[in-house]
Amino acid sequence: MHPILARLERLAGYLALWGAVGVFESAVLTQQGLTWPEALVQVLPPLLVYSFVCLSAWYVCRATPLATSGVPRVLTASIVAAWVGAALWLALNEAWLATLESMPQVTPIIPRFRTQIPFLFAVSVMLYLLVLSVHYVVLSFEAFRTAERQQLELQVLNRDAELRALRAQVDPHFLYNCLNSISALTGSDAAAARRMCLLLAEFLRTTLRVSMQQSITMAEELSLAERFLSIEQVRFGARLQVEQSIDENALECQVPPLVLQPLLENAVGHGIAGMVDGGTIRLDVVRRGDRLSITVENPRDPDAVPRKRGGVGLENVRKRLAVVFGGAARMDAAASPTGFRVAIDLPSTVDA
Amino acid sequence: MPEASSLPLRVAVVDDEPLARAVLCEFLSAEPNVEVVAQCANGFEAVKAVSELTPDLLLLDVQMPKLDGFEVLDLVGRDVAVVFTTAYDQYALRAFEVHAVDYLLKPVSAERLSEALARVRERLDRGERSASAGTRAGAMAAAGREGYAHRVLVRDGPRVHVIPVDKIDYVQAQDDYVCFRSEGKDYLKEQTLGEVETSLDPAAFVRIHRSYLLNLARLVRVDQDERENRVAVLTDGRRLPVSRAGYTRLNSLL
């Protein structure tokens, strides 16, 4: 919708400005011997019609936005539109003044009009261009405001995602099971119980700290993952084995916090925990040029009844990647009867 | 010395996590007149232990590989009292629906375990096992939780047969039992056909007769014999009777 036509007070203001131009022009004519009514009746009507013609500048602006169109294009479009507009105005005046010429009580100004056509043409071209530039200003102002709002929305989404990730991260059942393990160890192996307490405290502290940050290094994410797996290994014993291959060059890369974590939680909870003899989780981190890829693979019991609760953590990661990287990052999950594989591919950025 | 009325309570501890078993055993060892007869790491071992050792009580974890706690209860609930132990409180309602004696949240405390044992003893003194209607309630709970059953479990002494529902040809009522026909074998289970029917997807299994529940995927055609009786012909050539009501149900699905 046209920004001036859309609101009555804007249209009124706009027409008032044009009215002022008309009054000024009439005042000049009264200096040349015309009465006010004679001057106004001949000047105002074509001018007001022209004011609406000038509103077409909006569509010219929309069709050739400053941001994406080159200077020659913008100039050509503006000049052509202004010339067409001005020609229209002259034609309007000619028609209106000729109609009034036959009326006896009006001193015709048409002869004077005809002698000044080149000058009037130039003036109306300038007026059109003025309106056009006002439209451009309005448009860029609106674009700026939209960008600002989107920026804010993105921040809110980010914060929201972090909170949700955090909640998903420190699954209370993970904690309860941990505490149960610690409770068991205190009876049999007090030193091991103490180690588990420390591991858990470290894990919680790191999780809380990194979840407040926009991005952390891959090395930090990996050390968090290691703590998580150590804790789970206390619970599952020999059933949980881990093999990993980490590219040294990947360690300095920046990643959103807690992207690897939910993948491992999923691998343990939906893979290893469902297997009588357990299995091996495979973690690969590779940096190739400007891309970083993180892959987690786990075996699973082919006979297991698929659990409904799965996938929330993974879905969270997918959403967060979309918020942070847009289309530049992707996550692929592939399930086979005997295993599950999640691969994340994202831009490898390094903090300067 | 224990009196005759307080024979030792024989307990089997079932959990896939060694430490979770360890803490329960530690607490149990401090309890008077309790004997741990088995430690099981999964549901199959639990069913085997119930058959071979006939414990009075199963301390049963819910989330385990192969068979979960509810499936174990479904299989052995008639023979043994069950107390669930889990970190998840969302199963509590279901646990009581299937007549578990108690429901312990991890981390488990020794006091709470004592209370549960007292409750079990009380029930045993009254001569009740945990789930007098264990199978029935188990099947109903199984149907109610996550849509329809994916598989049917049948206990054969210490062994458990796992039958995926798409491998079932039909189910036949036989007195107090039902018989699942699958891949040329029959599996008997103490259950009613109505209970089986409610646990299976009604779009896949049709009650074609008072005594028969048919997997639609096995149906080739419906014939009429010389006495105007309708007969369902299955992919393996077997013929099952179709009642009038069953025929109406079949037609509404086909």
Amino acid at A137: V
Query: How close is the nearest chain B Cα to the Cα of A163, in Å?
Result: 22
The mean of the pLDDT values for chain A is 86
pLDDT of A90 > 90? The answer is: no
CA distances from B10 to A137, B6, B49, B124 (A): 86, 11, 12, 12
Quickly state the pLDDT bin for B199 (edges 50, 70, 90): confident
Residue among B118, B109, B105 nearest B61 (CA): B105
Q: What is the DSSP letter of B78?
A: T
Kindly state the percentage of chain A with pLDDT values over 90: 32
- Position B2 scores a pLDDT of 45
Q: Are B92 and B7 in contact (CB under 8 A)?
A: no
A166-194 pLDDT, tens digit per residue, is 555 577 888 999 999 999 999 899 999 99
Residue A80 to residue A77: CA distance in whole angstroms: 5
- The answer to whether A179 contacts B106, with C-beta atoms less than 8 Å apart, is yes
| Span A211-234, average pLDDT | 92
B39-83 pLDDT, tens digit per residue, is 999 999 999 999 999 999 999 999 898 888 999 998 888 889 999
Find residue B34's DSSP bridge partners: B9
A108-143 pLDDT, tens digit per residue, is 777 777 888 888 888 888 888 888 888 888 888 888
Any A CB within 8 A of B166 CB = no
How many A×B Cβ pairs under 8 Å? 65
pLDDT of B116 > 60? The answer is: yes
Judged by average pLDDT, the poorest of A309-318, B132-141, B238-247 is: B132-141
A286-313 pLDDT, tens digit per residue, is 999 999 999 999 999 887 766 544 567 7
Query: How close is the nearest chain B Cα to the Cα of A277, in Å?
Result: 9
Query: How close is the nearest chain A Cα to the Cα of B105, in Å?
Result: 9
Find residue A152's DSSP bridge partners: none
Question: Which domains, ranges and CATH numbers included, belong to chain A?
Answer: 8-151 (no CATH), 170-350 (3.30.565.10)
| Span B85-103, average pLDDT | 89
Residue among A340, A249, A351 nearest A291 (CA): A249
Nearest CA in chain B to A175: B87
Query: How close is the nearest chain A Cα to the Cα of B146, in Å?
Result: 8
- Position A198 scores a pLDDT of 95
Nearest CB to A305 within list B16, B20, B151: B151
Nearest CA in chain B to A178: B107
- Look at residue A23 and give its three-state secondary structure: helix
Q: Among A240, A276, A277, which would you mutate to test the B interface (most chain B Cβ atoms within 10 Å of its Cβ)?
A: A276
User: Among positive and negative, which fits the CA dihedral B149, B151, B156, B160?
Assistant: negative
A47-71 pLDDT, tens digit per residue, is 888 888 888 888 888 888 877 778 8
Query: How close is the nearest chain A Cα to the Cα of B165, in Å?
Result: 12
Residue A278 to residue B203: CA distance in whole angstroms: 36
Tell me the chain B residues in contact with residue A179 when contact means C-beta distances shorter than 8 Å. Answer: 106-107
Domain parsing of chain B, residue ranges? 4-136, 149-253
Any B CB within 8 A of A103 CB = no
The CATH superfamily of B4-136 is Response regulator (3.40.50.2300)
Place of tokens 């008032």: A16
Strand pairing report for B9-14 and B34-40: parallel
Kindly state the percentage of chain B with pLDDT values over 90: 59
Any B CB within 8 A of A309 CB = no
Using a cut of 0.80, tell me whether the model's pTM lies above it.
Answer: no
Order across the sheet with B177-182: list the strands: B185-189, B177-182, B168-174, B212-215, B205-209
- The answer to whether A184 contacts B23, with C-beta atoms less than 8 Å apart, is yes
Give A31-54 as a DSSP string: HTT--HHHHHHHHHHHHHHHHHHH
The two three-digit tokens of residue A332, written as one number: 């692929």
Quickly state the pLDDT bin for A249 (edges 50, 70, 90): very high
Q: What is the CATH number of domain B149-253?
A: 2.40.50.1020
| Span B186-190, average pLDDT | 91
